[in-house]
Amino acid sequence: MPGGVNSPARAFGGVGGEPIFFVRGEGAHLFDIDGNRYLDYIGSWGPMILGHNHPRVLAAVQAALARGTSFGAPTEAESELAELIIEAVPSIERVRLVNSGTEATMSAVRLARGFTGRDVIVKFAGNYHGHVDALLVAAGSSAATLGVPNSPGVTRGTAQDTMVLAYNDPASLERAFAEHGQQIAGVIFEPVVGNMGCVVPTPQFLTALTGLTAKHGALLICDEVMTGFRVAYGGAQSLFGFSPDLTTLGKIVGGGLPVGAYGGRAEIMDHILPAGKVFQAGTLSGNPLATAAGIATLQVLRETGVYEQLEARSAQLATGLAAAAKDAGVPHTLARVGSMMTLFFNAEPVTDWTSASHSDVSRFARYFWELIARGVYMPCSQFEALFVSAAHSSDDIEATIAAAREALVRLA
């Protein structure tokens, strides 16, 4: 495997050292190949909102497994998961299941271009939308110039139709539409950013996004791969009260198995083949095992008081981590929305990639390993959000705060 891993986020490039190999998850804990136990705040990078090996999810997958692993044909489970998604997210009238969040964003971007007949997609620096060629771009020379590739293998021709702006900057978005409005097919954004750390949108930014796209006939694509069913059952759009044209989902919607989805208004979604002409297909889309896990997860989230518990535990952790950093004299900012948060080693407010990049990544790396030594497994990058699960108890949170307090004292 290149670098010994199947995804670069697992290589500990942001903290140094060797990645930890795991053999089992149970509730709020992970167990490595050497028998060590860790309180897990990654949760497979977000999907494990109920914790590892939840009995209802496990039973659903086992039952589906007994019936067959893949048919390449329609199943009732696909429709059931689609209905749950549509019920939860009012802006989605039609939905198409795919295999990953990357497939969802790739397909949504293609659909936006096919629906509008335009080429340019706007994205924001520090927002990650999967490894789609058109979205792996860096900012141009000014706030409203087209992007350039930031990965070998991404052609300039692919990147030239992507514009990169600053997050939480309504003025730059207004300038972009003033100069290029007739060429912009859509704007894709994370409603709560998780891949430059947890960054919260301002009300002014959300107002600009919805107003400018509607005014200029562009589609607003809300990337809720991370936030969907995480920050609220209806996603960040229900929490903040806006309605995008298209929404992308992943992670929790698959209950820990590979599932993605994209959906939106019927008039837009009906442009997808076979209803329309925009191509998208997948042999394993709507896989029986994956849909079973997703259905079970969403049913538990819908039927129980999981979100109230998540809010209480997350507030407890956020308060404790911030207090521990303050008492240790470590410059910091803590950002949280629901059960996702980041302790930034950065004294200034973090509102975009520029401010996030001022964080002390060296100090974070030392913090990470101090926590590992105390049995706490946090994201291995300053620029990744951590996730609390329904399996974390109040005692687990207090143990985490105590470990963080010891670690932070050693960093001061």
- Write the single-letter amino acid at 378: M
pLDDT value at residue 147? 57
Neighbours of 7 (CB within 10 A): 10
What's the CATH number where 214 sits? 3.40.640.10
pLDDT value at residue 8? 86
pLDDT-derived band at 140 (thresholds 50, 70, 90) equals: very low
Same domain (yes/no): 330, 219? no
Mark which of 264, 280, 302 sits at the end of a domain.
302
> Which residue, chain included where needed, has tokens 């986020």?
9
**Is the per-residue pLDDT at 145 higher than 60?**
no
Same domain (yes/no): 267, 284? yes
pLDDT-derived band at 352 (thresholds 50, 70, 90) equals: very high
Backbone angles phi, psi at 232, to 5 degrees: -170, 160
pTM of this prediction exceeds 0.85: yes
**Is the per-residue pLDDT at 153 higher than 90?**
no
Same domain (yes/no): 242, 173? yes
Catalytic-residue membership of 326: no
Domain that holds residue 377: 2-54+305-411
Q: What SS3 class is residue 149?
A: strand
**Is the per-residue pLDDT at 157 higher than 90?**
no
When pLDDT is averaged across residues 1-28 and rounded to a whole number, the result is 92
What's the CATH number where 361 sits? 3.90.1150.10
For the chain, give the mean pLDDT: 95
Same domain (yes/no): 29, 129? no
DSSP one-letter string for 351-400 = -SHHHHTTS-HHHHHHHHHHHHHTTEE--SSTTS-EE--TT--HHHHHHH
pLDDT value at residue 280? 95
Q: What region does 117 belong to: left with phi over 0, alpha with psi -120 to 50, or beta?
A: left
Mark which of 302, 320, 346 sits at the end of a domain.
302
pLDDT value at residue 177? 98
Same domain (yes/no): 159, 214? yes
Of residues 40, 169, 223, 396, which has the active-site annotation? 223
pLDDT value at residue 143? 37
Instruction: Please state the domain count of the chain.
Output: 2
Give dist(CA 343, CA 197) in Å, integer. 8
pLDDT-derived band at 134 (thresholds 50, 70, 90) equals: confident
Enter the tokens of residue 31.
Answer: 């167990």
Of residues 128, 262, 307, 367, which has the active-site annotation? 128
> Which residue, chain included where needed, has tokens 């007949």?
117
Same domain (yes/no): 291, 334? no
When pLDDT is averaged across residues 300-310 and rounded to a whole number, the result is 95
Same domain (yes/no): 359, 210? no
Same domain (yes/no): 356, 398? yes
**Burial per residue of 255-284, b for 16 or more beta-carbon CB atoms within 10 angstroms, e otherwise:** bbbbbbbbbbbeebbebbeeeeebebebeb
Give dist(CA 189, CA 201) in Å, integer. 10
Backbone angles phi, psi at 371, to 5 degrees: -70, -40
The three-point CA angle 288-289-290 to 5° equals 95
**Is the per-residue pLDDT at 117 higher than 60?**
yes
pLDDT value at residue 65? 98
CA 368 to chain centre: 21
Of residues 38, 167, 251, 262, which has the active-site annotation? 251
Same domain (yes/no): 337, 313? yes
Same domain (yes/no): 70, 8? no
Give dist(CA 35, CA 31) in Å, integer. 6
Q: Among positive and negative, which fits the CA dihedral 99, 100, 104, 105? A: negative
pLDDT tens digit sequence for 206-245 = 999 999 999 999 999 999 999 999 999 999 999 999 999 9
Question: Strands of 22-26's sheet, edge to edge?
Answer: 22-26, 29-32, 37-40, 376-377
> Which residue, chain included where needed, has tokens 């990639």?
353
Backbone angles phi, psi at 255, to 5 degrees: 60, 25
Catalytic-residue membership of 223: yes
Same domain (yes/no): 296, 326? no
Backbone angles phi, psi at 73, to 5 degrees: -150, 160
Same domain (yes/no): 328, 401? yes
**Is the per-residue pLDDT at 137 higher than 90?**
no
Backbone angles phi, psi at 153, to 5 degrees: 95, -15
Mark which of 280, 302, 324 sits at the end of a domain.
302
